[in-house]
Amino acid sequence: MIDVTPLLDSNATEASLADTAAQIDAACRRVGFFSIVGHGVSISLQDRLEEAAHGFFSLSDAAKAENAMVRAGAAWRGWFPVGGELTSGVPDRKEGIYFGSEHPPDHPRVLDATPLHGPNQFPAGSDDLRLAVLDWLDALRPVADGVMRGLALGLGLPADWFEQHLTSDPTVLFRIFHYPPADAGTEADTWGVGEHTDYGLLTLLAQDHLGGLQVRAVDGTWIDVEPTPGTIVCNLGDMLERLSGGRYRSTPHRVRNTSDQSRLSFPYFFDPSWDTTVPTLPIDASPLPPADRWDASDVTEWDGTYGDYLTAKVAKVFPDLFRDVRAQR
């Protein structure tokens, strides 16, 4: 648990910044993830988001389908049903709704039907979810910038290195996931979402009170991440592992809802700019020992823009939708 207040304070002392960065560096090396406080995001805002999300997911599938992802085309925004998202080719036991940065109709990438760019879809008849999501996106952006400053300092880079080189125009995606209650028919090996790592730099995850998230530590053990009100969990992504030369490893994690209640989680993905490339920096990496990745891939093999990389990844998660979008272009 790390207090990131200095990273969000323009008047913070060098000593406090260095101390916070050292804590982040130690957590990234020792465990591979960390939780933060002092981020300034109010509990009342998360309460609003949870209430609005429960309201949406309580609707019938027919009503939720009014905001189905297929209706957004290449923007890939909207709702998908339970089993509609794949992890390593296996359907997840969850449903969700995808959001991202709002792009106006005349945005060049919207006009070009660039994947993951476009307007968000919100349910008609109520502004509760729309307002809560947009407020959440606004609240999380400065937190993401602050944590990235701490990561930069931990890697021995200038505090603003990411903002200068990778995230001046970040790819920001946001999901709300709903994990149905466990029941007698749920198989023991059925996961809400199976083991995976995130694609980009940093994920800021809020979760409700039920728990169910497990993170694999650097030593290979699985750790239950118990929900604590007012905290945000930070997962490291594949592009941060690539950039750090293995000093920081992307965090494998998985979810199983074992309760008799509906579980919600709120991952906010803060990723490189769409047209940028992600290098491996010539830093004193002191890499961690090699690990068996969940997908047997090598994050250093990719050569191209982050946008092309992300499109290829999302295409594996929603293969049918990807084929439809490609056919329309």
At residue 119, the pLDDT reads: 92
Q: Is the dihedral of CA 82, 86, 87, 89 positive or negative?
A: positive
**Computed from CA positions of residues 174, 199, 194, 146, in that sequence, does the dihedral angle turn out positive or negative?**
negative
pLDDT at 220: 85
For residue 89, the model assigns a pLDDT of: 75
User: Which pair of tokens denotes residue 316?
Assistant: 């594996």
Report residue 232 as tokens: 């945000």
Q: Is 82 left (phi over 0), alpha (psi -120 to 50) or beta?
A: beta
User: Reading across the β-sheet that carries 253-255, which strands appear in turn?
Assistant: 193-196, 253-255, 213-216, 222-224
Tell me how far apart the alpha carbons of residues 17 and 25 are, in angstroms, rounded to a whole number: 12
pLDDT at 218 (0 to 100): 80
Q: Which two tokens stand for residue 171?
A: 């790819």
The domains located in the chain, with CATH, are 2-328 (2.60.120.330)
pTM of the model: 0.93
Return the pLDDT at 2.
98
Q: Which of 292, 176, 170, 177 is nearest to 239 (CA)?
A: 170
**pLDDT, position 291:** 62
Give the 3-state DSSP-derived string for the chain, with helices as H, strands as E and coil as C. Answer: CEECHHHHCCCCCHHHHHHHHHHHHHHHHHCCEEEEECCCCCHHHHHHHHHHHHHHHCCCHHHHHHHEHHHHHHHCCEEECCCCCEECCEECCCEEEEEECCCCCCCHHHHCCCCCCCCCCCCCCCCHHHHHHHHHHHHHHHHHHHHHHHHHHHCCCCCCHHHHHCCCCEEEEEEEEEECCCCCCCCCCCCCEEEECCCCCEEEEEECCCCCEEEECCCCCEEECCCCCCCEEEEECHHHHHHCCCCCCCCCEEECCCCCCCEEEEEEEEEEECCCCCCCCCCCCCCCCCCCCCCCCCCCCCCCCHHHHHHHHHHHHCHHHHHHHHHHC
Q: What are the distances in angstroms from CA 214 to CA 44, 87, 88, 290, 313?
A: 25, 16, 17, 21, 22
Q: What is the pLDDT along the chain (329 residues), one digit of tens a residue?
A: 999 999 999 999 999 999 999 999 999 988 889 999 999 999 999 999 999 999 999 999 999 999 999 888 888 899 999 988 877 778 889 999 999 999 988 999 998 888 899 999 999 988 999 999 999 999 999 999 999 999 999 999 999 999 999 999 999 999 999 999 987 555 556 788 889 999 999 999 999 999 899 999 888 889 999 999 999 999 999 999 999 988 888 889 999 998 899 999 999 999 999 999 998 887 765 666 556 665 667 777 778 899 998 988 887 777 766 666 555 55
Q: What is the pLDDT of residue 185?
A: 56
Q: Could you tell me which residues come within 8 angstroms of residue 188 by beta carbon, excluding any fewer than 6 positions away?
A: none
pLDDT of 246 reads: 85
What is the pLDDT at residue 322? Answer: 66
